[in-house]
Amino acid sequence: MKVVVTGAAGFIGSHLSESLLADGHEVTGIDAFTDYYERPVKERNLQACRDHQRFRLVEGRLQDMDLRKVLDGAQRVFHLAAQAGVRASWGREFAHYTEHNVLATQRLLEAARLSGGTRVVYASSSSVYGDAASLPLGEDAACHPVSPYGVTKLAAEHLGRLYERNFGLPVVSLRYFTVYGPRQRADMAFHRFLKAARDGAEIHLYGDGTQTRDFTFVSDIVAATRAAADSGRPGGVYNVGGGERVALNDVLDRIEHVTGRRLTVVREEVQKGDMRDTFADTSAARRDLGFRSTVPLGEGLEREWQWIRGQA
């Protein structure tokens, strides 16, 4: 199959592209190498794909390129390109979020509908929910994002729904819950914590550590994303989570256990935009996508730790 992966040089996009290539697909990756983090990191993410004969990279911003040409003949589009990061989405930086998350998505959907025959999977986020009245979060829970980032991810989901309703474009949105594993972005908590453990540096923890998260290992995210293209309900939205609700203080204990190092923790104020708790109800993904979380937190942390150690 000919497939397109946007954000192919990113953390999740590079894993997804490798998985598709391994199963014999022809992958066109699109990435703009935005400066949210350094290009050499993204080049390393892409290395295995670049070495592959069935991989082609189109470099540029989705909102500027002739997408109809790139999408021509593609049977699947996995849309992962975005400006990620909750805390950076306030202030002037918000312009990046509207550009890369909303406008770029609209341009992609427009090209997909005109190219015909393509299914689109959109990487949405648990950030669309905001602070929940009750847990676990079902897909029909009210969405009141607490960050500008979450607002843009929700807006793009709505665009997907509009293109499905009005033009019959099969779009499926997945709400990823905190993704981790090798290549995790350096601004994310596990990466920062494990790197600090490796280097004997201080860990900066925002809030009192009782906030909870549902962490999802990247290979489980890849499996769900691929399954969504095959059996997701067009216009549908699915949670994808690891299935365990863990407090950040507990994460620190587990990190000490996995790394065998004592951590020095500096506690800081809660950051604006951070959700208090997340925990996914994944029954819809289990039913329609055959989704199962297969990597428990202890094992996933160990794998990310091995990767972080290799980066030194």
Supply the minimum distance, in Å, between the C-beta of residue 6 and ligand NAD: 6
Comparing every residue's Cβ against ligand NAD, the nearest one is: 10
Contact stretch for ligand NAD (CB under 6 A) within 49-57, 59-67, 136-144, 243-251:
59-67
- Cα four-point dihedral sign 311, 297, 154, 18: positive
Ranges of beta strands (E only) in the chain are 2-6, 26-31, 55-59, 76-79, 119-125, 171-176, 179-180, 202-206, 212-214, 216-217, 237-240, 245-247, 264-268
- Cα four-point dihedral sign 312, 43, 127, 245: negative
Per-residue x/- track, 221-240, ligand NAD (CB under 6 A) = --------------------
Per-residue x/- track, 268-307, ligand NAD (CB under 6 A) = ----------------------------------------
Residue 149 is a catalytic residue: yes
Q: Which of residues 153-212 bind ligand NAD (CB under 6 A)?
A: 153, 176, 178-179, 185
Supply the minimum distance, in Å, between the C-beta of residue 264 and ligand NAD: 25
Of 32, 3, 10, which Cα lies nearest the Cα of 221? 10
Q: Judged by CB under 6 A, which of 3, 4, 5, 10 binds ligand NAD?
A: 10
Choosing from 97, 129, 149, 180, the catalytic residue is 149
Supply the minimum distance, in Å, between the C-beta of residue 125 and ligand NAD: 4
Please return the burial class of 101, using the count of CB atoms within 10 Å of its CB with bins 0-12, 13-18 and 19+. Answer: buried
Q: Judged by CB under 6 A, which of 20, 49, 62, 154 binds ligand NAD?
A: 62
At residue 118, what is the residue type?
T
Q: Rounded to whole angstroms, how far apart are CA atoms 174 and 171?
A: 10
DSSP 277: B
Q: Map residue 105 onto helix, strand or coil.
A: helix
Q: Judged by CB under 6 A, which of 81, 154, 258, 295 binds ligand NAD?
A: 81
* Largest Cα–Cα separation, the chain: 56
Catalytic residues: 149
The site for ligand NAD (CB under 6 A) is made up of: 6-7, 9-13, 30-34, 36, 42, 61-63, 80-84, 100, 104, 123, 125, 153, 176, 178-179, 185
